[in-house]
Every structure is written in structure tokens, then in C-alpha cells.
Structure 1
Amino acid sequence: MKNLKVNLGIAMLVIASLTAVSCKNNNEEGSVDHSTMDHENMNADSDMMEGGAQPSQDVMGSENEDSQTGRIVNDYLELKDALVADNIKDAAKAGEGLVKAFEEFDMSEYEEGQQQELTEIIEDAKEHAEHITMSDIAHQREHFDILSVDLADMLEITGSPKTLYQQFCPMYNSNKGAIWLSTSEEIRNPYFGQSMLTCGEVQKEI
């Protein structure tokens, strides 16, 4: 009986030892080196920051509107809105902004042929913007007519930083008609202002 108890005790010790060793091995196999994972995650995040991640559409849109072409378009739209409101002072101020934006336009990123076209367009557009800064509202509208054509031609080369609608008034310029650009499809006529506010139609989207 005594020998049986001793044998049972030894057997229990052996089982306990084997269980402890087994648990230890399982813990080592299932354990994770968090320092290694953290280092790898940091490297992955770094790679995304350096070039893997793409900006959101909102960010890209904001950058486009702050570009040199975006600046010209924004000043043009301010001019258009001033003419819609029959506001000669705001139109002149917007014209000044356009003159400066045209003067500072950098064409170095464009091909040689495009640079030549842009030079001709910008020189003409700048001249009409200068006249807008010093003319009565009737003459401002005359120069705005040609300026709008220049800007449309320019955007065919540079692309537009935002969605624009080319609109057309059939009554202006001795019924020859004239175009302008707007961010809205709603007609707000800059050639007749408040007297014929909704005269015109959308020709195309830019």
C-alpha cells in the first residue's frame, strides 16, 4: 500500500512537469514580438506618408483652385459676378487681380508649342483686363466679351481647376452673341446685368 502511494505520487509529479513544459512551449509559439510589429507598422506608415498614400479629392480640388490657373479663374468669376450686379467698382478691382495673375503666370511646365499659344492668349487677355480696370461699365462688358474667349482658349491648354459652364447670350454684340463662363448652370447674364438677367443658355461643360 505504501509503495502504491509512492508510485502514484511520482506519477503525479511527472504529469505536472510535462504539463508545465507543454504550456511554456505553447506560450512561446503563440507569443508575438510586439516591438517587431510596432517597428514594421511604423515603416509601413512611413512608406504611405512618403508616396504611397494619395490625397483625397477634396484636398486635390483645393490645390487645383489655389493653382495659378485657379487664381485666374477665380478673379474672372469675381469680374463676371460684378458685371451681373452692374457694379463697376468691383469689376475694376477684379480686373486688377486678373492683370496681376496674368503677369505672374509661369508657363515653364508646358511644351514649347503650348507656351507660344499661351503667350499670345495671355497677352491679349491681360490687355483687356487692363481696360476693364479703367473703363465705364459698357466698355468693361465689351472687353469682358473678348476676355471670356481668351480664357476659354486658355483652359483648353491648361485644363480647368473646377467644373465650369460655357454660357451664351444671343442678344449681345449687335445680336452676334457672346460667351461667358460660370460655375453654375443657372443663367446670370453679365452683359445686360439686372436688365436682362436670365437671357442666355448653356452651351457646354468645361
Structure 2
Amino acid sequence: MKKILFMSVITAFMTVSCNQKSKEETAVSSEKTEKSAELYACPMHPEVTGTAGSECPECGMELTEKVAQTTAADNEATPVAVANEESSAITATGNVSKTAFPTDAIVSNYLNIKNALTKDDSNGAAVAAKNLLTTLNSSSTTSVDTKSKNKYNAFVDDAKAHVKHIGDNSGKMEHQREYFSLLSQDIFGLIKTFGTKQTVYQDYCPMYGEGKTGYWISETKDVINPYFGSEMLNCGRRIGAVK
């Protein structure tokens, strides 16, 4: 009798242990599945997504920005537009009129800063930056809807802060170039969202900013580097047209 009771206890214990192990394995498997399903985006090209650590095909940077997951209800409510992977152009998004904002004047002023830096002309970059600040301060958003206005103002506010550093630091080329890198991100976002009539390109230098911040917008067909100027004037490569 004791032997039968003992065997029953052992059997029950093994059953509980097996069930617990099965639950743990299921939990681990579920966790791995969730992690593998997480999407990450490129810091410079947020439309490019994939698994963590993958390389962005546009610029070669690692995908490090975690993408917020959407629910099935969200997906049903908001159709997602899929980009054409074969296109090398970086196109404007949204349905905002490309003439709603003075983006052409802003881009022209930005390009003047860029061209001065390619010539190692710190004073010229400062003058061009002050001209850009004047353009930014005089831009009007009265003719557009609130959502578009808020997007535009977000770009402009960041750009003002960065361009002021360039304008106020004539003679400090490295400081100007550091903030030109930040300004380039603002201009890229502005063009991508609201467009421009000018034909411009995004270029990249892997030697600047540890390969993370060496981006700029250019109107020239040749790659001319604003981060190193005469030291490495043609260092870099073209990523694509920005439309």
C-alpha cells in the first residue's frame, strides 16, 4: 500500500514538473517570437524598417530606432502605404501642397551655407546662416491647416536653433560643421515632407561623425564634402535624389 502511495506521489510530481517546464518553454518561445517581430528603423531614413542591427540600404546605418507596434484595429483604421523599394528617390510624403511654404528659399539659403563650408569659408557660412535665419523668421503659415503648420514649425524651430550656432560662430569651423550636420537633418525632413522645386540630392560621408551624422543636401551632381572641405573635398557618396 505504501509503495503504491509513494508511486502515486512521484507520478503526480513528475506530471506537475512536466507541465511547468512546458509552460516555461512556451513563455520563452513566445518572448523570442515577440522580439523577432519587433521592428527598428533607420535614424536617417525612418521609412526603412527591419530587425535590430540590420543595415539601411539607403545609407548603411544600423536600424536602431524602435518602431511603435500597432494593433490589428489600428491597421484596419489606417491603411499603410508601402514604399516602392525599386525607387532610389526619396520622395515627399503627405498631401500638403509643395507651394504652401517657402521651402525653396530655405533650401537655397541652406545650400549657400553648404557651399561656403566646402570652401572652408567660415565667415561666408556665418553670413549665409544669418540670411537663412532671416528667411525662417519671415516664413508664414497662415494659409495652411493646423496639422501641416505644426509639422512645418517643428522643422523651422529646430533649424533656427542650429543655424544660429553657425551664424554666431564665424572662425569656428568645426563648431559650424557640427551644427550644419544637425541643420541638414532639419532640411532633409522639411524637403521630404513639403517638397521643393529644386533638384537636390542627399550625400553621405562615412568619415564624419563616426559614420553617423555625415549627411548633407546638395544641388550639384558631384559629391563635394562640406565637412572636410579642401582636406577631403570629394570624400563621400550619393544616396539619392530628394523629392
**TM-score normalised according to structure 2 size:** 0.56
Give the deviation of 1:111 after TM superposition. 2.7
Shift of 1:107: 1.6
Which one of the candidate residues 100, 116, 126 is aligned to 1:82?
116
Amino acid in structure 2 at the alignment position of 1:74: S
Alpha-carbon distance between aligned partners in 2 of 1:161 and 1:148, rounded to the nearest angstrom: 18
Structure 2 alignment gaps of length 5 or more:
1-97
Superposed CA deviations along residues 77-122 of structure 1, whole A, max 9, x for unmatched, are 1100000000011000000011111111112233321211111110
Find the residue that maps to 1:125 and give its secondary structure.
helix
CA contact (8 A) 1:129 1:147 kept: yes
> Which structure has the larger Rg over C-alpha atoms?
1
1:93 is aligned to 2:132: no
Alignment of 1:40-79 (within 5 A): 68-79=102-113
Q: Is it true that 1:167 corresponds to 2:213 in the alignment?
A: no
Contiguous gaps of at least 5 residues in structure 1: 1-63
Q: Does the 8 Å CA contact 2:181/2:213 hold for their aligned counterparts?
A: no
Alpha-carbon RMSD:
1.7
Identity fraction in percent: 33
CA contact (8 A) 1:84 1:191 kept: yes
2:175 maps to what in 1?
A: 139
Q: Determine whether 1:109 maps to 2:143.
A: yes
Count residues in correspondence: 142
- Deviations along 1:3-39, whole A, 9 cap, x unmatched? xxxxxxxxxxxxxxxxxxxxxxxxxxxxxxxxxxxxx
CA–CA separation in structure 2 for the residues paired with 1:70 and 1:205: 16
Give the drift of 1:123: 0.5
Q: Distance in 2 between matches of 1:177 and 1:73?
A: 19
CA distance, structure 1, for counterparts of residue 176 and residue 193 of structure 2: 26
Could you list the per-position Cα deviations for residues 109-153 of structure 1 after superposition, in whole angstroms to 9, with x for gaps in the alignment? 333212111111100101111110122110000000010110110
What's the secondary structure of 1:171's corresponding residue? coil
Are 2:238 and 1:205 equivalent residues in the alignment? no
Select the structure that is richer in helix.
1
After superposing the two structures, state which structure 1 stretch, 170-179 or 83-92, moved more: 170-179
Give the Cα–Cα distance (whole angstroms) in 1 for the partners of residues 155 and 200 of structure 2.
Answer: 19
Work out the CA distance in 2 between the residues paired with 1:177 and 1:198: 17
Q: Compute the displacement of 1:73 (Å).
A: 1.1
**Dislocated runs of 4+, deviation >4 Å:** none
Name the amino acid aligned to 1:145.
S
Q: What SS class does the counterpart of residue 177 from structure 2 fall into? A: helix
Asked whether the 8 Å contact 1:188–1:197 carries over to 2, the reply is: yes
Shift of 1:161: 2.0
Q: CA deviation at 1:69?
A: 1.7
**Cα distance between partner residues in 1 of 2:110 and 2:241:** 17
Q: Please report how far the alpha carbon of residue 174 of structure 1 lies from its aligned counterpart in structure 2 after TM superposition.
A: 2.4
State the TM-score, normalizing by the size of structure 1. 0.65
Look up the SS of the partner of 2:211 in the other structure. coil
Question: Counterparts of 1:151 and 1:100 in 2: how far apart (Å)?
Answer: 16
Partners of 2:162 and 2:215 in 1: how far apart?
15
Q: Distance in 2 between matches of 1:131 and 1:177?
A: 17
Q: Which residue in 2 is equivalent to 1:180?
A: 216
Q: Which amino acid aligns with 2:203?
A: Q
